[in-house]
Amino acid sequence: MNLVVEISIVVVAIAAVIMLLAAFKTLKLAGAAIEDAKVTLGDLRTEILQISQDAREVVRNTNAVTVDAQKKMQELDSLFSSVKEIGQATHVVTQSVKEAATGAASKVKRNSRDIQKPEGGTIAAIADGIASTIRIWNRLKQN
């Protein structure tokens, strides 16, 4: 019976050694997997940092483009305001010239009727020119 106990002990010992070798091999594979996971996480962290840096750069560029576009729009606003003011001034001058031309035409008609008084017609034409000039000046000052 002693022999059976000794054989059992040897079999248990061999089984324990085989189990230890299997556990060692499993732990070694688990350690390699953990090391691969560390490397993968490190690479992932590096890529995430690069992506976030690229995203920040895109945001900065977008902000710069937005500021530039706003500046150009403000410049265009002032340009269009100037064009509008020039249009209004041109309109006023045109109206004044029309009135002056109408007044001059009526004076010419009156003067052609009153051909016997050339001196009075010249003075009247000068007075009418001065009046037209004053009207043009007042309208320009208003605008």
DSSP assignments along 16-60, one per residue: HHHHHHHHHHHHHHHHHHHHHHHHHHHHHHHHHHHHHHHHHHHHH
Highest mean pLDDT among 31-45, 84-98, 123-137: 31-45
Residue ranges making up the domain that contains 6: 2-142
This prediction's pTM: 0.44
Half-sphere exposure for 60 (CA within 13 Å, toward CB): 6
Under 8 Å between Cβ of 114 and 74: no
What does the angle CA 21 – CA 27 – CA 33 come to, to the nearest 5 degrees? 140
d(CA 114, CA 108): 10
What pLDDT digit, counting tens, does each position of 38-63 carry? 999 999 999 999 999 999 999 999 99
* Number of domains the chain is built from: 1
